[in-house]
């Protein structure tokens, strides 16, 4: 039986204290996974074929376009033909668990491949070697076909119920991600309202936060009901929100940060953040 050196943790006690220490032992070696080796070999062959396809199509289409434009622009545009269907094939692989989402990149990849093959065939016709154009176009078709076989082989088969379950999980995760920018937008909108109230409260002569209640002080924490709960944002975030809302005076920013965070900030800290924002704004 074949063995291989490995490390195991074993208990070792010294002076009544036990620790797990590593020791070197010979463990039985697992049998060689020929299926995995063959799959790696096929993937390597597909990568070589794909590289050859990109080189050939770029040279062929670049020479075709070079008859009308300068060579750097011609070859730069030529590489797009193969990169387009390669990118679509990659997106199709990423959406392999959702057949509906994978259908669009699959169709787009086939269209991009057909366009690239037509361009290669056109180069052969223009050059006077239509046979070379046909064979060269088949190189791109074989490359995409080989990669399609490899990727389909690595895609695990799923029944309809499992696919539906996965789509439901992805939908829940997508809804959570979609709510993030929505919450940020709502927070920015509410922050603008709060900043406007703070600015108006700073500029009033009567010192009242509510004209219907002139006996209340503007410094009363209950003077305004704010949607942003104290403690939700820190001083730096509150200064950024105040800046985005149009506040440029340090004193007004200090007042706004105190309302939003629920505690009086350091005026020096607020002033430092404001200076950084002014420097960035130029």
Q: What is the pLDDT of residues 61-75, one digit of tens each?
A: 999 999 888 988 999
Q: pLDDT > 90: what percent of the chain?
A: 30
63 occurs within a structural domain: yes
Query: How many domains are there within the chain?
Result: 2
Per-residue pLDDT, 189? 86
Of 234, 282, 281, 223, whose CA–CA distance to 262 is shortest?
Answer: 234
pLDDT of 168 > 80? The answer is: yes
Q: What is the rounded CA–CA span in Å between residue 95 and residue 151? A: 12
Q: What is the rounded CA–CA span in Å between residue 114 and residue 137? A: 9
Task: Provide the H-helix boundaries in 20-158.
Answer: 34-65, 71-94, 99-127, 130-154
162 occurs within a structural domain: no
19 occurs within a structural domain: no
* Banded model confidence at residue 248, pLDDT cuts 50, 70, 90: confident
Range scoring the smallest mean pLDDT among 189-193, 201-205, 230-234: 201-205
Q: Which residues pair with 10 in a beta bridge?
A: 21
Per-residue pLDDT, 201? 64
5 occurs within a structural domain: no
Same domain, 72 and 144: yes
Q: What is the rounded CA–CA span in Å between residue 6 and residue 70? A: 60
Biggest CA–CA distance in the chain, Å, is 95
**273, 256 Cβ separation under 8 angstroms:** no
For 61, residues 6+ apart whose C-beta sits below 8 A from its C-beta are 77, 78, 81, 116, 119, 120, 123
Q: What is the rounded CA–CA span in Å between residue 246 and residue 249? A: 9
65 occurs within a structural domain: yes
Q: What is the rounded CA–CA span in Å between residue 252 and residue 279? A: 19
Same domain, 207 and 132: no
Whole domain around residue 104: which residue ranges? 34-154
Residue by residue, DSSP assigns 223-239 as: SS--SSPTTSS-HHHHH
Backbone φ, ψ for residue 214 (5° rounding) = -70, -15
For residue 245 the two structure tokens come to: 């809302």
Q: Which of 102, 133, 154 is the last residue of a domain?
A: 154
Same domain, 79 and 147: yes
Per-residue pLDDT, 108? 94
Per-residue pLDDT, 110? 93
Q: How far is CA 134 from the centre of its chain?
A: 39
58 occurs within a structural domain: yes
Map residue 16 onto helix, strand or coil.
coil
Per-residue pLDDT, 1? 66
Of 95, 88, 80, 82, whose CA–CA distance to 109 is shortest?
Answer: 88
146 occurs within a structural domain: yes
Per-residue pLDDT, 55? 93
23 occurs within a structural domain: no
Same domain, 54 and 114: yes
Same domain, 68 and 150: yes
Same domain, 50 and 131: yes
Backbone φ, ψ for residue 146 (5° rounding) = -65, -45
User: Which range in 41-50, 155-164, 168-177 is most confidently predicted, on average pLDDT?
Assistant: 41-50
Per-residue pLDDT, 214? 42
Q: Round the average pLDDT of the chain to a whole number and report it.
A: 82
């Amino acid at each position: 039986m074949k063995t291989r050196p490995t490390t195991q943790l074993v208990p070792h006690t010294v002076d009544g204290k036990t620790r797990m220490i590593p020791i070197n032992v010979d463990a039985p070696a697992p049998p060689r996974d020929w299926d995995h080796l063959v799959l790696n070999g096929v993937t390597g062959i597909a990568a070589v074929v794909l590289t050859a396809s990109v080189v050939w199509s770029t040279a062929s289409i670049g020479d075709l376009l070079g008859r009308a434009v300068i060579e750097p622009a011609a070859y730069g545009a030529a590489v797009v033909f193969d990169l387009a269907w390669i990118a679509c094939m990659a997106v199709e692989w990423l959406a392999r668990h959702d057949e509906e989402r994978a259908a669009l990149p699959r169709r787009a990849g086939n269209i991009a491949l057909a366009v690239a093959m037509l361009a290669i065939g056109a180069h052969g016709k223009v050059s006077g070697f239509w046979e070379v154009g046909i064979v060269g176009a088949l190189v791109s078709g074989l490359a995409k076909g080989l990669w399609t076989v490899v990727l389909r082989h690595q895609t695990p088969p799923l029944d309809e119920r499992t696919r539906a379950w996965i789509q439901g999980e992805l939908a829940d995760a997508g809804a959570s991600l979609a709510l993030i920018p929505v919450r940020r937008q709502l927070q920015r909108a509410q922050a603008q309202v709060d900043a406007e109230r703070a600015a108006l409260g700073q500029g009033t002569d009567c010192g009242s936060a509510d004209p219907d209640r002139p006996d209340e002080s503007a410094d009363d924490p209950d003077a305004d009901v704010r949607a942003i709960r104290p403690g939700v944002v820190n001083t730096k975030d509150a200064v950024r929100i105040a800046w985005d809302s149009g506040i440029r005076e340090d004193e007004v920013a200090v007042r706004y940060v105190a309302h939003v965070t629920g505690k009086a900030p350091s005026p020096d800290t607020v002033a430092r953040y404001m200076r950084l924002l002014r420097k960035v704004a130029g």
